[in-house]
Amino acid sequence: KQEVTQIPAALSVPEGENLVLNCSFTDSAIYNLQWFRQDPGKGLTSLLLIQSSQREQTSGRLNASLDKSSGRSTLYIAASQPGDSATYLCSPRGSTLGRLYFGRGTQLTVWP
């Protein structure tokens, strides 16, 4: 069974800071890894999907890196804004069909 750990569990920063959210997973035999954002009381929004053959994937101010062999992924958020406040979840996908495994998330608060 895949175990996913996200550090830190919570982060509170002033706007403008560059942020690093960490995700580690126990089974490195993955096909890809997905980062999601969840706003309070809402569903999950996919932010980035990084394939196991890739080392980085970028979308706007977001950049995800993947080190499959060491079981780690990092989400970088540049020039954070109050609108970035949400919980960020990572989910590595392996050979198990269907289900995704999730970390507990990093709860991010960006204050003006």
Partner 1 sequence: GAGVSQSPSNKVTEKGKDVELRCDPISGHTALYWYRQSLGQGLEFLIYFQGNSAPDKSGLPSDRFSAERTGGSVSTLTIQRTQQEDSAVYLCASSLGPGGAYNEQFFGPGTRLTVL
Nearest residue (CB) to partner 1, 60 versus 98: 98
Give the per-residue contact string, 69-108, with partner 1 (x = CB under 8 A; - = no): --------------------x---x-xxxxxxxxxxx---
Among 45, 58, 70, 81, indicate the residue that binds partner 1 (CB under 8 A).
45
Please give the structure tokens belonging to residue 20.
Answer: 């690093």
R_g of the chain computed on alpha carbons: 13
Could you tell me how far CA 15 lies from the centroid of its own chain?
19
Give the per-residue contact string, 25-44, with partner 1 (x = CB under 8 A; - = no): ------xx-x-x----xxxx
Residues 33 and 46: beta-carbon distance below 8 Å: no
Strand partners, 20: 76
∠27-89-22 over CA atoms, to 5°?
Answer: 65
Site of interaction with partner 1 (CB under 8 A): 31-32, 34, 36, 41-46, 49, 51-52, 89, 93, 95-105
